[in-house]
Homo-oligomer: A and B are copies of this chain.
Amino acid sequence: MRVLGIDPGLTRCGAGIVETTGRGGRQLRLVHVGVVRTPANDDVATRLLAVAEHVEALLDEHRPDQLALERMFNRHNVSTIMGTAQAAGVVAVAAARRGIPVAWHTPTEVKAAVSGNGAADKQQVATMVTKLLKLDAQPRPADAADALALAICQLWRGPLAARLAAKGAGRSAGQQHYPAATGRPRRVAGLTVTGFGAGARG
């Protein structure tokens, strides 16, 4: 299973690809990490196109099974969120056009998935991503680490979310698209999780 995580944005858009390896898919491997930057004085459409073309190239080169995006909420200011939301839409369409399912995770979900603490700060997330992927150095800038964390979150939480959604306990169906859960159930942090990788968390 291979997931492309995207931390969407116009100034910096983080992209990280992680795949599961090993028996039962419990180990994580870094496939790609990078950041797209677009010039602030270009017009928005041109900047969005640059993001789209970069993500399309990653999808075509690395052929991920799923794409994970940050789900934004009311905490953000509308003026700062617009470019982010526009970029997220563009990225989601690039995946949909290729038949790649798109999953959305809140920052809290991502932080909880990689560090066990939904209130973790960026440094803690970056430290855990570095450790989980056995990297020599922390991915920089923070957007790159966040994108990898999103991918890891989807690898671990996706199957759980699919189970919850199937039980009618998930969030609105219109905002999510998860693959069917696979693997045998395991218990993590009080929740029954099915699928790959959850055991590698502790």
Contacts and interface: CB of A to CB of B under 8 A. Distances in A.
A76 to B, nearest CB: 6
A102 B92 CA distance: 21
B74 A76 contact: no
Contacts of A47: 174
A67 to B, nearest CB: 8
Nearest to A38: B174
- A contact face: mostly helix, strand, loop, or mixed: helix
Interface of A: 40-49, 52, 72-74, 76-79, 81-82, 85-90, 92-93, 95-97, 101-102, 104, 173-177
Contacts of A44: 92, 102, 104, 174-175
Contacts of A48: 89, 92-93, 96
22 contacts: A40-B174, A43-B101, A43-B102, A43-B174, A44-B92, A44-B174, A45-B92, A45-B96, A47-B174, A48-B92, A49-B96, A49-B97, A73-B78, A76-B78, A78-B78, A78-B81, A81-B81, A81-B85, A85-B86, A86-B88, A88-B89, A89-B90
Contact of A72 (B78, B90, B176): B78
A95 B42 CA distance: 15
A65 to B, nearest CB: 14
A20 to B, nearest CB: 22
A78 to B, nearest CB: 5
Nearest to A86: B89
Contacts of A74: 77-79
Nearest to A77: B74
